[in-house]
């Protein structure tokens, strides 16, 4: 089964609202922050598989609420 760009857009929108711009998350908690980095990195790889390019925009959404994320955790694997 292949994921469509429309489905990818829905996933991205969900993450944008519920993860990257969610100031209710305990961003100061290292476990939560690390989990968000994993989510961002996996999304970046999924986005690249579907579109041929990296998303590289999760940081922007996190920055809107004064936080940060890494989206390249698996680049060296």
d(CA 32, CA 18): 13
14-44: per-residue pLDDT in tens?
999 999 999 999 989 999 999 999 999 999 9
Residue 65, domain extent: 24-69
The answer to whether residue 4 is domain-embedded is no
What is the pTM for the complete model shown?
A: 0.93
The answer to whether residue 40 is domain-embedded is yes
- Distances from the Cα of 31 to the Cα of 5, 8, 38, 50, angstroms: 31, 26, 11, 29
Counting residues of the chain whose pLDDT is more than 70, the rounded percentage is 100
Q: How confident is the model at residue 52 (pLDDT cuts 50, 70, 90)?
A: very high
The answer to whether residue 17 is domain-embedded is no
The answer to whether residue 8 is domain-embedded is no
Q: How confident is the model at residue 76 (pLDDT cuts 50, 70, 90)?
A: confident
The answer to whether residue 29 is domain-embedded is yes
């Amino acid at each position: 089964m292949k994921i469509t760009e429309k489905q990818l857009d829905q996933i991205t929108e969900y993450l944008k609202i519920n993860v990257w711009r969610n100031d209710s998350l305990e961003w100061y908690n290292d476990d939560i922050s690390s989990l968000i980095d994993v989510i961002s990195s996996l999304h970046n790889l999924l986005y690249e598989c579907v579109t041929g390019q990296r998303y590289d925009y999760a940081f922007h959404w996190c920055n809107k609420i004064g936080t940060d994320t890494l989206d390249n955790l698996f680049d060296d694997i």
